[in-house]
Amino acid sequence: MPFRELLAFGAVAYDPELPVDGVAAAIEGLERLFIADFEMSGPNPVVHEVLDVGWVIVDPGAALAEISSWGSRVKPRRIGNAEIGALKVVGYSPKAWREAVELEATVAKLIEEGSGAAFVGWGFNQDLAFVNELLRAAGSAWPFAPVAIDVQRIARQLLSRGETVDRFNLGHVADRLGIGRLGEHGALADAYATFDVLVELAKLHAADLSRPA
């Protein structure tokens, strides 16, 4: 199926026991995509913390239909460790975070809604580092599918640098693909932007496949 082939461009094996030839089978068996973004108080998952989370759950069928979405600010516990620049990026203030969700509730929802789905993100190494630290602290095993999907990798495969895009950050690629955004550096907004970019990349991939050889 063309869309499953597209996902393979960005697939990263995330289970050490998954055989080399198991990635394709894992992608073929996916029933949900968990397209997520996280905003943090700094780059170190041991020292810093998640302040904002958002995800969109998507059916990986031909229509790429949205199943559900969720986003929330997360109540900080070590705000004194935060980097000032990171707080400015996420827009943190005690007033803005007054209704933030407790970390335990956030992690429980992440595990419940992400169970069995493929974790999908944009250049997601740092996000995954924080997710793994959250799971370790919660005493939880990896709840997601054995493959994760990096949409930035897919974009690098399909879009020509210098022709379609100048750089591969999410905002620039979304703008070049004509995608309107809900905002910048908000987790749910960036999760939706990643979803929308994936939809456009799927259209480009389908068009490439339909062209005469």
Calpha distance 109→107 (Å, rounded) = 5
Calpha distance 179→181 (Å, rounded) = 6
pLDDT of residue 206: 84
Calpha distance 97→49 (Å, rounded) = 14
Cβ burial of 31 (10 Å; 0-12, 13-18, 19+) is exposed
pTM: 0.93
| Residue of 39, 37, 15, 42 lying closest to 27 (CA atoms) | 15
- Read off the pLDDT of residues 18-72 as tens digits, 9 standing for 90 and up: 777 788 889 989 999 999 999 999 999 999 999 999 999 999 987 889 999 999 9
CATH of domain 2-210: 3.30.420.10
- Read off the pLDDT of residues 107-154 as tens digits, 9 standing for 90 and up: 999 999 999 999 999 999 999 999 999 999 999 999 999 999 999 999
CA dihedral 91, 97, 100, 102 (to 10 degrees): 100
**Domain coordinates of the chain in residue numbers?**
2-210
**What is the enclosing helix (H) or strand (E) of 95?**
none
**For residues 96-117, average pLDDT:** 97
Residues 6+ apart with CB under 8 A from 14: 119, 142, 144, 145, 146, 147, 148
- Read off the pLDDT of residues 147-201 as tens digits, 9 standing for 90 and up: 999 999 999 999 987 778 999 999 999 999 999 766 666 899 999 999 999 999 9
